[in-house]
Amino acid sequence: MVEAPEIHDPAKFDDFHVHHVTYKVVAEHPIDLSILVPKILVESGELSEKTPLITEFHGGFLVGGNRIFSPWFSDWLVELALSRRAIIVTPDYRLLPEANGHDILADLASFWKWLPENLEQKLASSYPKIHIRPDFDRILATGSSAGGWMVSQSMLLHPEINIRAAIMAYPMINLRDRFWQEKYEKPIFGLSTLPYQIVESHLQSLPPNAVFTTDGDIEKKVGLFRPPLAISIVQHGKYLDFFGRDTKLFPFENLPLAKRLPPFVWLFHGRQDSAVPCSGSEKFVAEIQKYRPDAVVRLDVKDGEHGFDGDGNVTISEGWMKEGVTELSSYW
């Protein structure tokens, strides 16, 4: 994801009306989400059916990123939403190292509380001439990298939400792996080990009780500044020092206790992923099959680096992605 273009291009969302909403305030710091409503949905007039929902969680090691940073917002997801006339709701959340894993889980819980209680009212005030009814029984939860962790925790810890399907792209879910806990040579995106001074200087510069929920001022087309911070933390094996080690933070440990899973779970991962080892997805699918042998789970492992679906060549109309979307259609 660091190799992706670093400049936000709002044109990616030209086919949507985009609304920004604060869903939570922490220490006087607003935490926002964005609602992307397909223009074709609004232009179609009065709607006889409910509108499907997509919740999208951004990546960035839980250290950086932004909910609508266009280079990290997959083309295939935009394509899917428009083809289904689905509304996308995508939140920011508190970031490491200023926050910890429990803080992020608290934001996730706040998001899932906000969604059914407030979304329809927000749509009604924005579009008073038509009645857009979000279908809370038809939710597709999606996320890439760290966003995949958010999806996995959503489906494991929030059975009150009717997630019909979950898509996790190269998800960061096997966080007990030595990759996150030990220092050794990890050429993430081909980078040799970055100095840990990057992290130490950042921590020393923070004001008391600092809260970060976004990375850079993307609207001013300033690039992201936190990827080196994230990469240094991971390369030096310090990730859990900031994230935490409590059982609830780890999807593998929540899986056996989960009350339900979505009817369809889909993971895909690049075989040569240098930022999040592919083995984590393979092991997670094996664990699902162990604890939920009746679960419908799909895994696609393809040649490629982290973020391999962001090169513009992955579309819902061709190849393995088309096959997966076809299977998805039976559930969402």
Q: What is the CA radius of gyration of the chain?
A: 19
Mean pLDDT along residues 290-318: 93
Q: Does any domain span residue 4?
A: no
**312: domain CATH number?**
3.40.50.1820
Q: Does any domain span residue 5?
A: no
Beta bridge partners of 298: 266
Q: What is the pTM of this model?
A: 0.95
Q: Are 19 and 126 in contact (CB under 8 A)?
A: yes
Looking from the CA of 55 toward its CB, the CA atoms found within 13 Å total 31
What does the buried/exposed string (b/e) look like for 233-247 if buried means 16 or more CB atoms within 10 Å of the residue's CB? Answer: bbbbbbbbebbbeee
CA dist 86 → 128, 133, 174, 193, 279 (Å): 19, 11, 30, 42, 32
Residue 31: in which H helix or E strand, if any? strand 29-38
What is the pLDDT confidence band of residue 218, given thresholds at 50, 70 and 90?
low
What is the sign of the dihedral through the CA atoms of 230, 94, 37 and 170?
positive
Q: Does any domain span residue 165?
A: yes
At residue 1, the pLDDT reads 41
Angle at which helices 101-126 and 146-157 cross, to 10°: 80
Q: Does any domain span residue 152?
A: yes
Q: How far apart are CA 152 and CA 205, in angstroms?
A: 33
Tens digits of residue pLDDT in 11-27: 999 999 999 999 999 99
Residue 70 gets which letter from DSSP?
G
Decide if pLDDT at 4 tops 70: no
Q: Does any domain span residue 210?
A: yes
The bridge status of strand 29-38 relative to strand 16-26 is antiparallel
Sheet holding 51-57: strands in order across?
Answer: 16-26, 29-38, 87-91, 51-57, 134-144, 163-169, 264-270, 296-302
Mean pLDDT along residues 222-229: 75
Q: Are 314 and 282 in contact (CB under 8 A)?
A: no
Q: Encoding tokens for residue 262?
A: 């979505």
User: No. of H helices and E strands in the chain?
Assistant: 11, 8
Q: Which residues contact 311 (CB under 8 A, 6 or more apart)?
A: none
Q: Does any domain span residue 285?
A: yes
Q: Does any domain span residue 222?
A: yes
Q: Does any domain span residue 2?
A: no
Beta bridge partners of 134: 51
| Nearest C-alpha neighbor of 311 from the set 71, 28, 62, 2 | 71
Tens digits of residue pLDDT in 91-102: 999 999 999 999
Domain count, the chain: 1
What is the pLDDT confidence band of residue 3, given thresholds at 50, 70 and 90?
very low
Q: Which domain holds residue 289?
A: 10-328
The residue ranking higher by pLDDT, 320 or 44, is 320
Angle at the Cα of 67 from the Cα atoms of 62 and 70, rounded to 5 degrees: 115
Beta bridge partners of 16: 38
**Residue type for position 91:** P
Tens digits of residue pLDDT in 102-129: 999 999 999 999 999 999 999 999 999 8
